[in-house]
């Protein structure tokens, strides 16, 4: 029996998460790299000083002699980026889809604003460490299921536990707006489109819950109601209402709902047809976390390239837009987030504008722009160095990454397998 326990321990250790990096104690100077600041600006020959987890200096390094530092990193001919941010992610909530005990992304019931996804976030997930080698260093951990799914939080992706990981706790509540139409069949054999006869009833149920929450706060009862208590902050802007919605009519109805209930901050998640409601979005200051770029159009008669162009349509109109990755295999696919932005470049968007879709724009939407999303003095030194263009799958190769100035590991199960079989084939070639 003891033998089997020992073997299990060895197995768990071998495939466990990399040990989180210690707090920065030595000053770091990065020189010579092309710094993409995340705000549309670029410094060709940059010099970046990192002290106590913050960016102490960033400027053009030509003919500039900095003060002495403890560690020097030569980034000549390389690119430097702010850490990418994966919004609306279930990273760390599910490890193996087929194993129910490892699935914590949703809760029973319909109205669950009090369900906090951060409590279930597993920092030991192998999928967390698999995202970092492509520059994804932060994520919004969001719940799924029900009508009001719960409350999300923002984390950094190198931590011992969820308390260490939290960057912004309880940043917003996630609401799945009803669909006015439904489709029968499946993707290989799609059926017809039918109206949702219960649409108005479902919208009314949402309004009734919000009305009950308002009545609860006005009554100020002695006995606390936890779901209603979780609704605090939507009227003050402390929390954002993330409305998961794609349809044109549904988007209009959601914005009307925002005005009726005095919701200060609303973000559409998905927002596939948001480009058809641009004046309404601008008038009500509604941002969009756009549906996955690498996707098919929703209707058969639409431009097949619409998912690739959608971000540019919104950005050109002045809408604050970011990218997210919900959908099939979303936890595994989050490492492809930079390449979604790269696809937007291929379809007309300026490269530095596309970079903002997964850095500064997303940081603003999540309310963490004071510390993350751009390379600026005083902000967190959460950044990475790549040998090539980080938005290009062919050339992106992250060599070093820092979270709050901590030099984190880029090793994962995939890199271990690569090294293992590389040695095998190199040995065979020598024979």
| Predicted confidence (pLDDT) per residue in 384-418, tens digit | 999 999 999 999 999 999 999 999 999 887 787 88
Of residues 5 and 360, more confidently modeled: 360
Residue 4: inside a domain, yes or no?
no
| 69 and 97 belong to one structural domain | no
210 contacts: CB under 8 Å, gap ≥ 6: 231, 261
Q: What is the average per-residue pLDDT within 65-78?
A: 94
| 313 and 206 belong to one structural domain | yes
Provide the pLDDT confidence category of residue 329 given band limits of 50, 70 and 90. Answer: confident
How far is the C-alpha of 287 from the C-alpha of 14, rounded, in Å?
43
The contacts found for 231-234 with CB under 8 angstroms, 24 or more apart, are: 231/113, 231/173, 233/170, 234/173, 234/261, 234/263, 234/264, 234/265
Q: Give Cα 98 to chain centroid, integer Å.
A: 24
| 88 and 74 belong to one structural domain | no
Rg of the chain taking only CA atoms, in angstroms: 23
Q: What are the pLDDT digits (tens) for 1-54?
A: 343 333 333 334 344 568 899 999 999 999 999 999 999 999 999 999 999 999
Among 171-180, 256-265, 328-337, the range scoring the smallest mean pLDDT is: 328-337
Residue 310: inside a domain, yes or no?
yes
Of 27-31, 62-66, 192-196, the range with the highest mean pLDDT is 27-31
Which two structure tokens, joined as six digits, stand for 367? 């309310």
Q: DSSP secondary structure string, 174-189?
A: EEEPPPSEEEEE-SSS
How far is the C-alpha of 285 from the C-alpha of 117, rounded, in Å?
27
| 196 and 115 belong to one structural domain | yes
Of 355, 372, 389, which residue sits at a domain end?
372
Residue 399: inside a domain, yes or no?
yes
> Which of 380-390 are b and which e, b meaning 16 or more Cβ less than 10 Å from the residue's Cβ?
bbbbbbbeebb
How far is the C-alpha of 197 from the C-alpha of 181, rounded, in Å?
8
Residue 199: inside a domain, yes or no?
yes
Q: DSSP secondary structure string, 234-292?
A: TTTTSSEEEEEE--HHHHHHHHHHHHHTT-S-EEEEE-TTGGGGHHHHHHTT-EEEEPP
Edge-to-edge order in the sheet of strand 136-141: 84-89, 136-141, 148-156, 166-176, 240-245, 266-270, 287-290, 321-323
| 397 and 350 belong to one structural domain | no
pLDDT at res. 372: 98
| CA dist 108 → 87, 143, 144, 241, 339 (Å) | 23, 12, 10, 20, 35
Residue 65: inside a domain, yes or no?
yes
Q: What is the average per-residue pLDDT within 87-115?
A: 86
How far is the C-alpha of 348 from the C-alpha of 359, rounded, in Å?
19
Residue 8: inside a domain, yes or no?
no
| 100 and 49 belong to one structural domain | no
Provide the pLDDT confidence category of residue 64 given band limits of 50, 70 and 90. Answer: confident
Provide the pLDDT confidence category of residue 218 given band limits of 50, 70 and 90. Answer: very high
Q: What is the average per-residue pLDDT within 95-121?
A: 86
386 neighbors 134 (Cβ within 8 angstroms): no
How far is the C-alpha of 99 from the C-alpha of 125, rounded, in Å?
14
| 67 and 96 belong to one structural domain | no
| 382 and 345 belong to one structural domain | no
User: What CATH number did the domain enclosing 165 receive?
Assistant: 3.20.20.140
Of 326, 353, 372, which residue sits at a domain end?
372
Can you give the pTM of this predicted structure? Answer: 0.91
Residue 51: inside a domain, yes or no?
yes
| 357 and 367 belong to one structural domain | yes
Is residue 60 over pLDDT 60?
yes
Number of domains in the chain: 2
Q: What is the average per-residue pLDDT within 140-150?
A: 95
| 209 and 95 belong to one structural domain | yes
Residue 234: inside a domain, yes or no?
yes
Coil/strand/helix, residue 384:
strand
| 65 and 152 belong to one structural domain | no
Provide the pLDDT confidence category of residue 200 given band limits of 50, 70 and 90. Answer: very high
Of 341, 356, 372, which residue sits at a domain end?
372
pLDDT at res. 9: 37
| 227 and 344 belong to one structural domain | yes
User: What CATH number did the domain enclosing 48 receive?
Assistant: 2.30.40.10
Domain that includes residue 201, residue range: 84-372
Q: What are the pLDDT digits (tens) for 302-318?
A: 899 999 999 999 999 99
pLDDT at res. 187: 64
């Amino acid at each position: 029996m003891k033998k089997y326990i020992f073997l299990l321990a060895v197995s768990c250790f071998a495939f466990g998460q990399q040990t989180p990096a210690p707090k920065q104690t030595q000053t770091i100077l990065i020189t010579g790299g092309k710094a993409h600041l995340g705000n549309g600006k670029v410094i060709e020959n940059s010099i970046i000083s990192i002290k106590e987890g913050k960016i102490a200096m960033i400027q053009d390094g030509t003919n500039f002699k900095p003060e002495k530092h403890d560690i020097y990193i030569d980034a000549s001919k390389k690119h430097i980026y702010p850490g990418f941010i994966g919004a609306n992610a279930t990273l760390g909530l599910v490890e193996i889809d087929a194993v129910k005990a490892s699935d914590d992304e949703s809760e029973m019931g319909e109205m669950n604003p009090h369900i906090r996804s951060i409590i279930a976030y597993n920092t030991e997930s192998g999928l967390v460490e698999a995202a970092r080698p492509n520059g994804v260093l932060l994520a919004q951990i969001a719940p799924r299921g029900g009508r009001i799914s719960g409350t999300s939080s923002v984390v950094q992706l190198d931590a011992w536990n969820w308390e260490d990981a939290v960057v912004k706790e309880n940043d917003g509540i996630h609401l799945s707006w009803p669909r006015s139409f439904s489709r029968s069949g499946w993707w290989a054999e799609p059926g017809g489109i039918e109206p949702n006869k219960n649409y108005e009833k479902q919208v009314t149920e949402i309004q009734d819950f919000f009305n009950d929450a308002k009545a609860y706060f006005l009554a100020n009862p002695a006995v606390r109601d936890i779901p209603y208590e979780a609704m605090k902050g939507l009227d003050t802007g402390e929390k954002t209402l993330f409305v998961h919605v794609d349809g044109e009519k549904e988007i209009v109805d959601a914005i009307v709902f925002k005005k009726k209930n005095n919701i200060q901050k609303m973000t559409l998640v998905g927002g596939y047809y948001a480009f058809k409601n641009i004046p309404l979005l601008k008038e009500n200051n509604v941002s969009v976390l756009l549906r996955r770029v690498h996707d098919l159009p929703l209707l058969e008669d639409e431009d097949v390239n619409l998912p690739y162009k959608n971000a540019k349509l919104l950005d050109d109109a002045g809408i604050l837009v970011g990218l997210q990755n919900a959908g099939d295999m979303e936890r595994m696919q989050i490492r492809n987030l930079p390449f979604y932005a790269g696809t937007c470049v291929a379809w007309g968007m300026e490269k530095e504008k596309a970079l903002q879709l997964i850095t500064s724009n997303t940081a603003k939407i999540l309310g963490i722009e004071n510390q993350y999303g751009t390379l600026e003095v005083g902000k967190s030194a959460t950044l990475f160095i790549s040998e090539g263009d980080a938005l290009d799958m062919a050339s992106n190769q992250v060599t070093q990454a820092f979270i709050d100035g901590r030099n984190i590991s880029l090793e994962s199960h995939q890199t271990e397998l690569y090294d293992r079989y590389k040695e095998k084939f190199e040995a065979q070639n020598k024979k």
